[in-house]
Amino acid sequence: MVDLKGQYENIKEKVNQSVIDVIESAAFINGPEVHQFQKELEEYLDVKNVIPCANGTDALQIAMMGLGLKPGDEVITADFTFAATVEVIALLGLTPVLVDVDPVTFNIDVDAIKNAITPKTKAIVPVHLFGLAANMDEIMELANQHDLYVIEDNAQGIGGYYTSKDGSKKKTGGIGHVASTSFFPSKNLGCYGDGGAIFTNDDELAHIIRGIVNHGMYERYHHDVVGVNSRLDSIQATILRVKLPNLDLYNNARRTAAAKYTKAFEGEVNIITPTCFCDENDSNKENCDCHVYHQYTLKIVNSDRDALVAHLNENGIPCGVYYPIPLHLQKAYLDERYKEENFKVTNQLVKEVISLPMHTELDDEQIEFITTTIKNFINK
């Protein structure tokens, strides 16, 4: 699915040297590399505050702690996403409210959010799923009307843009009140272990969060709030500093591969390729900036998706089903208030989606082999 080794080969000398430098400096925790990375990421994302932490799940949890969400508060998020999003809501004693997604974008459905809002609702967590920005204009408008926080889960969307109705553009993660991301190795900006970060333009919230990640300390050995221990280490930070300047190139390589996949599936009525919102007439989708293709996810209709998965595996082609079970049907998150008729899209998507290999090193030969194998199977 990913080729981390191939990507490493191209940055090997820089990465190796920077890791050795950190080891020789012995500044493993909270060292200058972490601080530098934080500054560079703030600049890249155009957000006022980046707070590095241990992973993307912690980032979500700490964002919710920073906002002061309390047990009983309802938090609305998508039924079709990675479990981390709903997990931290439940872990904090908040009430997760899962809602359906849009069948075209796979992102949280704004009408479904509207229908789920109650007087207890305190926050919405849109996920920029597979690298495509959620419908942030409408989500922010709804949040403003109902006085809700918006926490962007940007673990899959880093480096992508959202274009508002008025034409203005912003990078994902800088639109809501606070955002989280993950530097898990296979993410678009991945380190060589675990890592994550929280972003916010709100200086006061950033101050609160900087204390929470460090045991609730704002002054040494004074613990004002209940915090956690969640740190990005210097070795991961120095690797991320080597990779960050390449992130746009990496995302472009993903878009190029995505455009080739999509072109190869042209005219296939049973294969629905991913949507992006860039100019329809722009044949050069490489200029697209709304999708960073963390995953390239097809919908297979009128055909047997599971049989296709088995066929690809037999042919040595990795593929993934993200996600095979809607969160509202997961044992840990069952809730008698959920009604199946409100999850029509997710219930359908889990049967249709398949994600193809997607990384920065995909070549034409691989894409040709993958797409031909799929087309031959679908049309057999």
Ligand X SMILES: *Cc1c(COP(=O)(O)O)cnc(C)c1O
Judge residue 271's burial from the number of C-beta atoms within 10 Å of its C-beta, 0-12 exposed, 13-18 middle, 19 or more buried.
buried
Q: For residues 28 and 184, which CB has a smaller minimum distance to ligand X in the complex?
A: 184
Stretch that binds ligand X, among 55-63, 216-224, 272-280, 300-308 (CB under 6 A): 55-63
Interface with ligand X, residue 153, by CB under 6 A: yes
Question: Does residue 305 come out as left (phi exceeding 0), alpha (psi in the -120 to 50 range) or beta?
Answer: alpha
Ordered DSSP codes for 182-208: E--TTSSS--SS--EEEEES-HHHHHH
Residue 327 in the binding site for ligand X (CB under 6 A): no
Of 157 and 357, nearer to ligand X (C-beta) is 157
Asked whether position 196 contacts ligand X by CB under 6 A, the answer is: yes
Residues in 163-182 that interact with ligand X by CB under 6 A? 182
**Residue from the set 127, 133, 258, 300 that interacts with ligand X by CB under 6 A:** 127
Which of 85/371 has CB closer to ligand X?
85
Complete DSSP assignment for 63-81: HHHHTT--TT-EEEEESSS
> For 132, left (φ over 0), alpha (ψ -120 to 50), or beta?
beta
Binding mask 75-94 for ligand X (x = CB under 6 A): ------xx-xx---------
107 in contact with ligand X (CB under 6 A): no
To the nearest whole angstrom, how small is the minimum distance from the Cβ of residue 61 to ligand X? 10
The DSSP code for 274 is P
Least distance (Å) between residue 347 CB and ligand X:
20
Report the residue from 57, 77, 200, 360 that binds ligand X according to the rule CB under 6 A: 57
Residue with tokens 């930070």: 237
Residue among 27 and 83 whose Cβ is closer to ligand X: 83
Residue number with the smallest Cβ distance to ligand X: 56
Q: Is 300 in the site for ligand X (CB under 6 A)?
A: no
What is the Cα–Cα distance from 125 to 75, expressed in whole angstroms?
Answer: 7
Between 12-25 and 32-45, two packed helices, what is the crossing angle to 10 degrees?
140
Amino acid at 77: T
Q: How near is the Cβ of 196 to ligand X at its closest, in Å?
A: 5
Chain-centroid distance, C-alpha 354: 17
Under the criterion CB under 6 A, does residue 96 sit at the interface with ligand X? Answer: no
Q: Is 184 in the site for ligand X (CB under 6 A)?
A: yes
Regarding 156 and contact with ligand X (CB under 6 A), the answer is yes
Choose the binding region for ligand X from 112-120, 137-145, 153-161, 213-221 (rule: CB under 6 A): 153-161
Q: What is the DSSP letter of 270?
A: T
Alpha-carbon separation of residue 145 from 11, 15, 78, 206, 234 (angstroms): 47, 47, 20, 24, 42
- 56 is a contact residue toward ligand X (CB under 6 A): yes
Size of the site for ligand X (CB under 6 A): 15
Tokens for 272? 């629905």
Q: Which residues bind ligand X (CB under 6 A)?
A: 55-57, 81-82, 84-85, 127, 153, 155-156, 182, 184, 194, 196
